Amino acid sequence: MNNLYEKSKLWFAITWIISYVVGASCADELSRFVNLEKSITLIFLSIMSAVAIVWMKRNGLFCEFGLCKANIKASKLLYYIPLIIIASCNLWFGVTLNLKLLATAFYIISMFFVGFLEEIIFRGFLFKAMAENNLKSAIIVSSVTFGIGHFVNLINGSGAEFIPNICQVVSAIAIGFLFVVFFYKTKSLWPCIIAHGVLNSLSVFAAKTSNTKQIIVSAVISVIAVVYGLFILKIKNKEKLL
């Protein structure tokens, strides 16, 4: 890993993205094969997270990739209220139990690993690799790549329908923009990791809604994410990430 990272940080990030997307998709399929949702996925994600943590610790890269305290006070960041609103969106139209108890537990835990890995990979590895040469391009590519990656749900056997998946892609691009801006301005990914994990995990309790309602939710959280991201960009702080 060190050799690849030192040779090309961008290819290091791309390798992690491919490994994560392919590995998680295959693990999801195996979980469905054994008839226990996210069971194999949880094992894969926990191993991948452990590898990332050990590698970053050995190389002293925790703060480099956002695993440190934010350098801007919570009050200046509106006490993270927009993040809380976004994270709660799956419960806006009701709550239901979509999986059995054990599968629900596996799902929730695995989704927090997803939040951790996706933030580290897309906002950490990919963004930092590209930002060395072009900050604006890094923000755009990190956001769009993260969003487009959700198209995999159409082909991975998860049962996602076209309209809901399009809504997910659009809102993911907007949220990706917010998260990468947050990292750029505050040096920290922890609020993003937590919000991401909560957002994903609460989807297991989401009540089934119409396409119209899903479009509305996608539009609302996209607007919140973009406006909050632009607000954070305007905050003046002494320290800078790059």
Residue 80 covered by a domain: yes
Question: Residue 50: which domain range?
Answer: 2-234
Per-residue confidence (pLDDT) for residue 153, from 0 to 100: 66
Of 69, 119, 79, the closest CA to residue 239 belongs to 69
Per-residue confidence (pLDDT) for residue 150, from 0 to 100: 78
Residue 239 covered by a domain: no
Residue 71 and residue 69: Cα distance in Å, rounded?
Answer: 6
3-state secondary structure 54-68: HHHHHCCCCCCCCCC
Burial class (CB in 10 A: 0-12, 13-18, 19+), 239: exposed
Residue 125 near residue 12, CB atoms below 8 Å: yes
Percent pLDDT > 70 in the chain is 95
**Residue pLDDT, tens place only, 189-219:** 999 999 999 999 999 999 989 999 999 999 9
Per-residue confidence (pLDDT) for residue 152, from 0 to 100: 73
The DSSP symbol for 240 reads: -
Per-residue confidence (pLDDT) for residue 163, from 0 to 100: 85
Mean pLDDT of 124-135: 95
Residue 210 covered by a domain: yes
Residue 45 and residue 10: Cα distance in Å, rounded?
Answer: 22
pLDDT bracket for residue 154 (50, 70, 90): low
Residue 87 covered by a domain: yes
Using CA atoms, how far residue 221 sits from 84, 169, 175, 177, in Å, is 11, 12, 8, 12
Residue 208 and residue 164: Cα distance in Å, rounded?
Answer: 11
**Residue pLDDT, tens place only, 52-87:** 999 999 999 999 999 999 999 999 999 999 999 999
pLDDT bracket for residue 241 (50, 70, 90): very low
Mean pLDDT of 36-64: 97
| pLDDT tops 70 at residue 23 | yes
| Residue 190 neighbours by CB under 8 Å, 6+ apart | 66, 67, 68, 69, 70
Residue 242 covered by a domain: no
Residue 240 covered by a domain: no
Residue 117 near residue 45, CB atoms below 8 Å: yes
Residue 225 and residue 234: Cα distance in Å, rounded?
Answer: 14
Residue 216 covered by a domain: yes
Copy the structure tokens of residue 127.
Answer: 């963004």
Per-residue confidence (pLDDT) for residue 159, from 0 to 100: 56
Per-residue confidence (pLDDT) for residue 128, from 0 to 100: 96
| pLDDT tops 90 at residue 174 | yes
Q: How many domains does the chain have?
A: 1
| pLDDT tops 60 at residue 225 | yes
pTM score, whole prediction: 0.93
| pLDDT tops 80 at residue 158 | no
Copy the structure tokens of residue 183.
Answer: 């990292």
Residue 115 covered by a domain: yes
Per-residue confidence (pLDDT) for residue 183, from 0 to 100: 98
